[in-house]
Amino acid sequence: MTTKQCRYEAAEVLWRGRVGYGGLVLDIQFANSGDVDVAYHVVGNGPVDIVYVMGAWTHLQVDWELPAFRRFCERLGEFGRVIVFDKRGMGMSDRVPGATSLDVRMDDIRAVMDDVGSDSAAVIGSSEGGPLSMLFAAAHPDRTSALILMGAEVRERKDEDWPWGEQTAEEHEASLPLYRERWGKPGGRFMEFFAPSQEQTQWITDWSARLQANASTPSGAMAFQEMAFNIDVRGIASSVQVPTLILHAEDDRICHVENGRFLAREIPDARYVELEGADHLPWFEPDLALSEIREFLTGFRVAAEPDRVLATVLITDVVQSTRTAVDLGDQRWRELLEAHNDLVRTEIVRFRGAEVNTTGDGFIATFDGPARAIRCAQEIGRRARHLGVEVRAGVHTGEVEKVGSDIAGVAVHIAARIAAHAGASEVLASSTVRDLVAGSGLEFEDRGLQELRGVPGEWRTFAAIS
């Protein structure tokens, strides 16, 4: 199969209307804000309206590709109707020359609220979105039921008067030319600063570069950064009169924790929760933050998700991937791998699974039902053959330990070892899975007893028949 055919297959996945890179193709709406169209998306249908004002660089569709961000919004949507949007000049909203001041951008919040018929909403402001959210809450308390600040900035400029900024004036001036040199190019150190609790995989590196390239142009990014550098909300913080919750990580590497502590002192009656760790935003370790937000907005607190849950683990990988990469060459292999990854993420979402991790040319996903995991694996194998590669899969149901957005435990090891025994385009399952799908219409062939490296005893495996 040619490279162009691989690209056609990936495009067909998108055209058939289910997913982009790891998430549903969003139902994007546009609200008119003066002469600008503002792109937004609504998540959930809970009783509390929530407007999420994100940080500096956004693109709704590319942001949604990040599983941690997507899950964070979906969990907010369990108790709210969440409106996420691209600020004017950014992402899928209209591009505008230069950068736009906070007072003009406030109209964009009003516009998306009006478009969805929301009279009043809780406004979440994160990072650079914090100042915009504070100004909106102070100027429009009638339309702001609550204010939630996550890793919110007070002032980016660092000097004797404010030693907790991000850069001095000299450092800021020196950094601006780098936007034109490096904007949208892979190789950045995104996770090292944004979420140091997480490993910076190649996929994350590529995703962060793709986010930049789609969020803005280098000139637009420079103009926006220049505007953001000169914002200072110290003078208005005490004017916020709506109920306020402030969440800030104690070792935040992007926005110093003293920003959060200052806001907690200045905003009347604000509730302040200092989170452990150094992640700028709580997308990757969200349980405590979401519990605080839910209780703050609804009066009810839900216990943190259990550390151990029963799940069906699906592990896939490309057969003879090294030889294929050598045969195709680096460029064609990367293109083929992109098409493969797009395909796998499509099917995981379609069969209501959750992507946990990707390991180069393999995936780890969980499902709450083993039959869906089997059918997902079968469909991945079928579609992968159209790309010219063979994918093998292992499936096991057992108790897993949740470690942030990752999983661990013996069940994961068993699924991995079973996958290693699978043949090309074969879906191999444990006897536990075979027994649980009785009545589903799935058929299996007994592959006999297997010794699974590192797992005690012998395990009977079964090949699912397509």
| Alpha carbons within 13 A on the beta-carbon side of 69 | 25
Q: How many domains is the chain partitioned into structurally?
A: 2
Among residues 273, 306, 328, which one has the least CA distance to residue 148? 273
The angle subtended at Cα 288 by Cα 80 and Cα 369, nearest 5°, is 70
End-of-domain residue from the set 254, 269, 298: 298
- Indicate whether 386 belongs to any domain: yes
Where does residue 125 fall: left (phi above 0), alpha (psi -120 to 50 degrees), or beta otherwise?
A: beta
Question: What is the extent of the structural domain holding 254?
Answer: 34-298
Helix 67-76 / helix 287-298 crossing angle, nearest 10 deg: 20
**Residues 188-221, buried b or exposed e (16+ Cβ, 10 A)?**
bebbeebbbebebeebbbbbbbbbbbbbbbbebb
- Indicate whether 19 belongs to any domain: no
What are 154's two structure tokens?
């007070």
pLDDT, residue 305, reads 56
DSSP assignment of 43-84, as one string?
E---SEEEEEE--SS--HHHHHHSHHHHHHHHHHTTTEEEEE
Q: Does residue 327 sit in the same domain as residue 359?
A: yes
Count of residues in the chain = 466
The beta-strand segments (E) located in 135-219 are: 144-150
What single-letter amino acid sits at 163?
Answer: P
- Indicate whether 23 belongs to any domain: no
Cα–Cα dist 405/2, whole Å:
36
Q: Does residue 427 sit in the same domain as residue 324?
A: yes
- Indicate whether 274 belongs to any domain: yes
- Indicate whether 15 belongs to any domain: no
Q: Hey, which residues does 358 pair with through a beta bridge?
A: 363
Q: Does residue 291 sit in the same domain as residue 427?
A: no
The CATH number given to whatever domain includes residue 50 is: 3.40.50.1820
Contact in structure between 348 and 67 (CB atoms under 8 Å): no
The angle subtended at Cα 15 by Cα 14 and Cα 21, nearest 5°, is 10
**Residues 271-287, buried b or exposed e (16+ Cβ, 10 A)?**
ebbebeebbbbbbbbbe
- Indicate whether 18 belongs to any domain: no
Q: Does residue 243 sit in the same domain as residue 190?
A: yes
Q: Does residue 273 sit in the same domain as residue 349?
A: no
The angle subtended at Cα 180 by Cα 167 and Cα 105, nearest 5°, is 65
- Indicate whether 10 belongs to any domain: no
Q: Does residue 281 sit in the same domain as residue 314?
A: no
Q: Does residue 276 sit in the same domain as residue 391?
A: no
- Indicate whether 13 belongs to any domain: no
Contact in structure between 395 and 374 (CB atoms under 8 Å): yes
Q: Does residue 346 sit in the same domain as residue 268?
A: no
pLDDT, residue 303, reads 59
The CATH number given to whatever domain includes residue 340 is: 3.30.70.1230
Q: Does residue 355 sit in the same domain as residue 274?
A: no
Q: Does residue 406 sit in the same domain as residue 257?
A: no
Q: Does residue 268 sit in the same domain as residue 410?
A: no
Q: Which residues of the chain have pLDDT under 70?
A: 1-25, 302-307, 404
End-of-domain residue from the set 276, 298, 320: 298
Contact in structure between 44 and 77 (CB atoms under 8 Å): yes
End-of-domain residue from the set 298, 318, 352: 298
Q: Does residue 242 sit in the same domain as residue 340?
A: no
